[in-house]
Chain A
């Protein structure tokens, strides 16, 4: 399943191909960006898993799919739910790992600069099978559609409305923060909460129940929920 790919495909067919090509990254610049990753990850000949998994052959692979690496439950769940690594999903993940998999062990705040992400993705792309050999392989790098409007992030939520809306969440998510089978959503930073909910709303995250729930919440309602859960105490 490639939820992300479908969306990108539609977008790409509308946007002119020249505009897309302009947004390809520069692998040489990406190698410099990659220095931030090197303390945990290896890539290239003889790369091994270290604190993080090795990154060869990343493109087109299901998230959390190396059998010999211990991933967080959150990333495993995302992979099982259909998350695959492509330029678009990597871009969203690299911008804020916790927006794509809340419980990921990758303790990296994220690359806020879109050009740096494009360059890094172009660099990592070198270590996957080449598009020249495999025509249907991923492009080297591509623009994304996951960015959310800074005005949305700036919205101040109404916690009272959030409390009412939260009753729809607490049918499954425990207010105690308990996490068995369904992740905890209490005491998240508001920005992460908003990003995660918009990722479901835009179907960049793969869970069907959450896509449905987030899909009908507007930006104010998501902000209200974020405001409420951010300070919820038992």
Chain B
């Protein structure tokens, strides 16, 4: 829908009367700013540019020039992928008409409707989509802070942290100890810590078979627990010691200088310590004032925030209901959001929201498992409709097919996100 200035003035009274009337700018195209180029933000930017066919001015603000997927970064630790296999450029998005700005978004002025950049200047928006992923809750693990992330990496944002953890894993002395401090709910990628345990165990079984893995976990149970525990018993018998909440797994402190971990009063000297602290929405969501506690509550129909109808939050940073925090979920939410935002700005047809998620995990070579569900928008939240999970005792052929399927999904979702 395009109107020249005179038509616009002539029809503006009628437009104002129609509640569902799209926003029509007297001058220039409607502007969408997306902050964060991961599974949520990149997908939203790409779909908005693609589906509006140039009718919306889409700017993506993302500080890094190369995006390393958090999904499959455990496979890098296990030696199944090279780091470059999980690294992607933003060239495809730029070619698809997205204005990619490599900078940090450090503030949002909701009255002026602008995003402030660390490099100076600001970017105006009609609709703002925040997809900043996660940050860590300060003081969540006693003795650990971001200043200790080199001694005890989190490796829960992929890239240099993944490489650091891999280097430390490779440098472990024979028979050494790898410790993981697992996070409390809710957190990014529910099966992620346990897939990581599996991949570390696989690496150690090949290279350092007398080494041990200790997991201190504040939770009594975790995603795909039966499948992982079956897999650890089958492939890595006796190597993994999982200490859950019942055994004091939540009562943990670390000393990054001494490289010790104290679990329920018992101090252990370790060689590598992977601390995955409690999480919260990426900082820009807080700065925009759309969070309530650690996360940003959103409306299920379009991912708009409860705090501001022109600001949307996707993926890990959002508090939406039943969907797990995963790359697949963020990608799914981004498409619903992009459809709704395009409708609001250009009057295009808005279709009902449908969401889905599947998480594949690799336990050992050719031993893949998955869990998934579909979701719908209700007035209260994104609500689960239907789901499935891999079963214990499945055939080796089925597990291999599941792993191969995850490889296919990786190719699919990365091209769906980044073009």
Contacts and interface: CB of A to CB of B under 8 A. Distances in A.
B386 A215 contact: yes
Interface in B392-413: 395, 397-398, 401, 404-409, 411-413
Contact of B398 (A81, A167, A178): A81
B385 interface: yes
A213 B387 CA distance: 10
Interface residues of B, number: 35
Interface string B256-270: 000000000000000
Nearest to B416: A170
A171 B409 contact: yes
Nearest to A216: B374
A213 B406 contact: no
Contacts of A215: 374, 386
Interface in B304-358: 328, 331-332, 335, 339, 349, 351, 354, 356, 358
Contact of A209 (B331, B332, B370, B411): B370
A80 B397 contact: yes
Nearest to A160: B349
A98 interface: no
Q: Which of A164, A174, A176, A215 has the most CB of B within 10 A?
A: A164
Nearest to B352: A164
Nearest to B39: A171
B136 interface: no
A174 B386 contact: no
Interface in A156-193: 160-161, 163-165, 167-168, 170-176, 178-182
Interface in B361-408: 370, 372-374, 385-388, 395, 397-398, 401, 404-408
Contact of B335 (A168, A178, A212, A216): A168
Given A164-B339, A171-B413, A216-B385, A209 B408 contact: no
A213 B374 contact: yes
Interface string A192-234: 0000000000000000110111011000000000000000000
Nearest to A77: B401
A219 B374 CA distance: 18
B405 A167 contact: no
B411 A216 contact: no
A66 to B, nearest CB: 14
B412 A212 contact: no
A168 B415 CA distance: 13
Interface string B97-139: 0000000000000000000000000000000000000000000
A212 B401 contact: no
B47 interface: yes
Contacts of B408: 172, 179-182
Contact of A80 (B51, B398, B413): B398
A100 B372 CA distance: 23
Nearest to B400: A80
B415 A176 contact: yes
B351 A212 contact: no
A80 B373 CA distance: 22
Nearest to A173: B412
B412 A170 contact: yes
A172 B407 CA distance: 10
Nearest to A208: B388
Given A170-B412, A171-B413, 8 more contacts: A80-B395, A80-B401, A168-B332, A168-B356, A171-B332, A175-B416, A180-B404, A216-B374
Interface of B: 47, 51, 328, 331-332, 335, 339, 349, 351, 354, 356, 358, 370, 372-374, 385-388, 395, 397-398, 401, 404-409, 411-413, 415-416
